[in-house]
Amino acid sequence: MTITSRFAPSPTGRLHVGNIRTALHNRMLAKKAGGKFLLRIDDTDAERSREEYVDTIRADLAWLGLEPDGEERQSQRLAIYEAAFEALKDAGRVYPAYETAQELELKRKVQLGRGLPPIYDRTALAMSDAERSAKEAKGAVPHWRFKLDHDQPIAWDDGVRGAQKFDPAQLSDPVIRRADGSWLYMLPSAVDDLDMGVTDVLRGEDHVSNTAVQIQMFTALIAAQYPTQQMPRFAHEALLIGREGKLSKRLGSLGCDAFREQGIEPQAVIALLARLGTSLPVEPIADRQVLLETFDLSTFGRAPARFDDAELERINAALVHQLDFAEVAHRLPEGMDEAGWHAIRPNLSHVGEASEWWRLVTGPIDSPEFSDEDRLYLGEAAKALSWSEDPWQDLIAALKERTGRKGKQLFLPLRQALTGMDHGPDMGELLPLIGEERARERLDAAAAL
């Protein structure tokens, strides 16, 4: 069976790191098997959904290289949900309920006070047609619930959590439609998964109880309207937590815009999130095919996955050091060629830092104050400088012979005079970029300070 997975964000905000991880894993699940990865925009909540967020979701997925093979929007599928709703109504699997939000909250408090689980008591299901008519005559408009079959045990083999079992009698009949006719998450999601041919649903463990309810929905929908479809497989991965070991509100706002502002490469995000929460090591792997080949739900753990900014920075720096000139040429300062990139790349944590390091070549630089002895030494260096295929090694050899200096005394004053810094790129690569004329000027200037 060809695998079809989906990512189904609501356009009520930007994607955050948890969403990104879910999208990535769904795409990897499908692509490893040569299947399809679909994007479904869950925009049935017209009041909170924004078109600008639809655009940013698409843009963020594109930036990450997670483009879907197809896209659907729930707001354009309302007739499909209506047909499914009517089919379930005819099958006796949905029913109207008339309690207000305040009445339901009161029931919940009473049950909790008695030490009982806050499960809906099915009062509305016991109402007669006459009682319903009387309610509606007084202006009451019902919301609608899906009727769980208490005689049908709920069980599935979860791709991450293993065998799962729920007693439907310990679950509330979920509200699937509001009194104003708008849809809640449960039914449209199940309808879409069947109608779109989704074979695998991979999502966060906070959806486990939703899955238990939806399994009965899938069964009812298949019987009532989708006899040729099969229920998808389910897997629930552990949620992300912050470095401190607890759920972090920050993770709910950390997304692609923040990563871009920090200078994080999309491949660093992918390399980290692809293996975060698995038994596989998180490594700076640029080749997505390698990540794909090692993707396996059996490696996913049950413990919360710890997201660490420092680890992301480490991965990012290592991947920057692997980037070829052609990949970043359009992002580099004017005049920096491949030799310049090769020289400066090992010192970068982010590509955006290249401009600061390139100033070591183009100047101006701020030389430190030198001792009289070092100024004499730098004057000697200006005289000894000769241009060749390897001017740095030739200069070092000449000065070592003339002055007897070695080690730090030999190298450090030269680096300081030529770059204004105590550390930085390999001088053997950097000096040819600085050039003979500019190098001599810097040495003379330092000797005269």
Transcribe 303-358 into DSSP letters.
SPEEP-HHHHHHHHHHHHTT--HHHHGGGSPTT--HHHHHHHGGG-SSGGGHHHHH
Tally of residues, the chain: 449
- Residue 106 CB contacts under 8 Å (≥ 6 apart), including other chains: none
Give the closest residue to 172 by CA, choosing from 100, 104, 84, 87: 104
- The token duo for 188 is 């449209």
pLDDT at 328 over 90: yes
Annotated binding site: 249
For 354-378, how does the pLDDT look when each residue is reduced to its tens digit (9 = 90+)? 999 999 999 999 989 999 999 999 9
Distance CA 165, CA 121 (A): 22
Query: Mean pLDDT throughout 4-28?
Result: 96
For 290-323, how does the pLDDT look when each residue is reduced to its tens digit (9 = 90+)? 999 999 999 999 999 999 999 999 999 999 999 9
> Which parts of 385-435 fold into alpha helices (H)?
391-403, 407-419, 427-434
Distance CA 36, CA 49 (A): 26
- Residue 372 CB contacts under 8 Å (≥ 6 apart), including other chains: none
Q: Where are the domains of the chain?
A: 325-361, 363-448
For 153-204, how does the pLDDT look when each residue is reduced to its tens digit (9 = 90+)? 999 999 999 999 999 999 999 999 999 999 999 999 999 999 999 999 999 9
3-state secondary structure of 274: helix
* Contact assessment for residue 105 and residue 158, using Cβ atoms and an 8 Å cutoff: no
For 167-176, how does the pLDDT look when each residue is reduced to its tens digit (9 = 90+)? 999 999 999 9
3-state secondary structure of 158: strand
In single-letter form, the type of residue at position 6 comes to R
pLDDT at 72 over 70: yes
**What CATH number matches the domain at 363-448, 1.10.10.350, 3.30.420.40, 1.10.10.10, 1.20.960.40?**
1.10.10.350
Q: What is the pTM of this model?
A: 0.92
- Residue 153 CB contacts under 8 Å (≥ 6 apart), including other chains: 165, 166, 167, 168
Annotated binding site for ATP: 249
Q: Which residue has the higher pLDDT, 164 or 247?
A: 164
